[in-house]
C-alpha cells in the first residue's frame, strides 16, 4: 500500500516514458555503432548530473544527451525546467563531443518554460498532458484528476498495479507513439552527419568575468574580433573594472 497514490502513479508513468524513449532509439543508435543508456556526467566544476539517456560513441564520449521529463502540474515547470537549462548547458561546455541535447517533455509544460529551455540550446519535443490521458484511457485508468482528488488517484493506481509487464509495455508504446518519429529523425540525422566534411565557424563568443566581489558579467559577441576589442580594454589588468561593467 503506497502512501501517495498520485505520486506513485506519476512516478511509474514517468519511468515507462523514460524506458520507452531509450528502447525506441536503441536499434537506430546501435546500428550506427553507438550505445545508449542512463549515465552520470560530471561537468568541469565537479557537479554531477544524472541524464536519463546518453548516446556514447565508440570511444565512450557523449554525443547526444536526452532527458525525458514528465510533470503533472505547471507549478513544477520552474524547478525541472531550470535544472534542464543548467545541466545541459554546463555539460555541453564540458564535453565538446555533445552535438545535440534534447528534452522530451510530457505533461503540462508552459510556453514560457519551453521557450526558456530552448534558449539554452536544448531542443524540445512536447507531449501534452491530454496525450497521456488518452493513452491510459483504454486501460481503464483515469489519469485526469484534480490536485486534491485522492479518491480518483487511488483508484487509478489500483488499476495500474494490476497490469502485467505486457500491458505496461503497451502503455509505454502508446504514450510515446506521437513523438518517437520526430525524436528518431533528430537523433538519426545527428548521428549520420559527418562533421569532418563540414566547416566550423564561430557563431558566438562568450566572455565571463568574475570579480573579487563575487560578481559575474557574461557578455556575448557575434565575432572573435568584437570579443577581442572588448577585452582590449582589460589587457592591462586594470585595478578597477567598474566602467567595463557599466557601474
Is residue 217 within a helix (H) or strand (E), and if so which, with residue range?
strand 216-221
Alpha helices in the chain (DSSP H): 5-31, 77-94, 111-119, 129-136, 150-161, 165-192, 224-232
Write down the pLDDT at residue 236: 61
Q: Which residues contact 183 (CB under 8 A, 6 or more apart)?
A: 21, 24, 25, 66, 102, 104, 125
Residue-wise pLDDT tens digits, 19-44: 999 999 999 999 999 999 999 999 88
**pLDDT confidence of residue 220:** 82
Average pLDDT, the chain: 88
* Residue 117: predicted pLDDT: 92
Check residue 243 and give its pLDDT: 60
Amino acid at each position: 500500500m503506497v502512501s501517495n497514490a498520485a505520486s506513485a502513479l506519476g512516478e511509474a508513468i514517468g519511468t515507462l516514458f523514460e524506458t520507452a524513449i531509450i528502447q525506441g532509439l536503441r536499434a537506430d543508435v546501435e546500428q550506427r555503432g553507438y550505445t545508449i543508456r542512463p549515465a552520470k556526467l560530471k561537468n568541469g566544476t565537479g557537479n554531477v548530473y544524472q541524464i536519463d539517456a546518453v548516446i556514447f560513441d565508440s570511444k565512450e564520449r557523449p554525443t547526444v544527451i536526452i532527458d525525458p521529463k514528465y510533470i503533472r502540474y505547471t507549478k513544477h515547470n520552474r524547478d525541472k525546467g531550470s535544472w534542464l537549462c543548467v545541466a545541459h548547458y554546463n555539460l555541453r561546455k564540458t564535453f565538446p563531443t555533445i552535438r545535440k541535447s534534447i528534452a522530451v517533455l510530457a505533461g503540462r509544460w508552459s510556453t514560457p518554460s519551453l521557450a526558456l529551455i530552448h534558449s539554452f540550446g536544448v531542443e524540445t519535443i512536447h507531449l501534452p498532458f491530454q496525450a497521456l490521458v488518452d493513452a491510459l484511457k483504454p486501460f481503464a485508468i483515469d489519469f485526469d484528476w484534480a490536485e486534491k482528488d485522492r479518491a480518483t488517484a487511488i483508484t487509478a493506481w489500483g488499476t495500474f498495479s494490476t497490469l502485467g509487464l505486457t500491458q505496461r509495455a503497451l502503455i509505454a508504446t502508446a504514450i510515446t507513439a506521437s513523438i518517437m518519429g520526430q525524436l528518431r529523425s533528430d537523433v538519426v540525422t545527428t548521428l549520420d552527419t559527418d562533421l569532418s566534411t563540414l566547416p566550423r565557424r564561430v557563431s558566438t563568443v562568450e566572455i565571463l568575468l568574475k570579480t573579487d566581489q563575487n560578481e559575474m558579467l557574461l557578455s556575448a559577441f557575434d565575432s572573435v574580433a568584437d570579443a577581442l576589442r572588448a577585452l582590449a580594454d582589460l589587457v592591462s589588468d586594470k585595478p578597477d573594472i567598474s566602467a567595463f561593467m557599466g557601474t
